């Protein structure tokens, strides 16, 4: 997150790498597929939040990661940062119009996840049981 400039495929030296058709999906995932971005986006999709609110709401995130994630989102024009010159300081984060448009495809993924999480879980257990039978119960 600190300085990713590549598009998803890192070169080894030759410059002619090609994904299926340049695959824009990977571009999105490169900036939103990390551990926290979507969580932040979902939160801001509900309403504007200030830094401390996000920190409390997204349980488990460190200050460092929250800051880094927000910075990246602001940089990409998905999130708006508004610093109020009060004391103590107060900073509000909100989705931009662009950021809001991202909510739709994200919700599509969300619906898919809800619909098929059990299938995946089942497939995995089937698969694991096949290669590690463990006849008894230890």
For a second copy, the binding residues (CB under 8 A) are: 8-12, 16-20, 23-29, 31, 33-35, 38-39, 42-43, 46, 57-60, 74-78, 98, 101-102, 104-106, 108-117, 119-120, 122-124, 126-128
Per-residue burial over 93-128, b = 16 or more CB atoms within 10 Å of its CB, e = otherwise: bebbeebeebeeebeeeeeeeeeeeeeeeeeeeeee
* Count of helices and strands (H, E) across the chain: 5, 3
Site string for DNA, 19-48 (x = CB under 7 A): ---------------xxx------------
Residue 16 Cβ vs a second copy, minimum distance, rounded to whole Å: 8
Contacts of 34 (CB under 8 A, 6+ apart): 1, 69
Residue 70 binds DNA, judged by CB under 7 A:
yes
Give residues in contact with DNA (CB under 7 A).
1-4, 10, 12, 34-36, 50-53, 60-65, 67, 70-71, 81, 83, 88-91, 93
């Amino acid at each position: 997150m600190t300085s990713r400039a590549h598009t998803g495929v890192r070169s080894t030296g030759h410059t002619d790498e090609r994904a299926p058709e340049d695959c824009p999906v990977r571009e999105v995932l490169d900036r939103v597929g990390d551990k926290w971005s979507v969580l932040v986006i979902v939160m801001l999709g509900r309403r504007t939040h200030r830094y401390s609110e996000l920190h409390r709401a997204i349980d488990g995130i460190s200050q460092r990661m929250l800051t880094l994630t927000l910075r990246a989102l602001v940089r990409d024009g998905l999130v708006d940062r508004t610093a109020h010159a009060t004391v103590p300081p107060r900073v509000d984060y909100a989705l931009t119009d662009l950021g809001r448009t991202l909510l739709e495809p994200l919700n599509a993924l969300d619906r898919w996840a809800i619909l098929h999480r059990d299938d995946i879980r089942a497939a995995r257990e089937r698969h694991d049981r096949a290669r590690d039978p463990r006849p008894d119960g230890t």
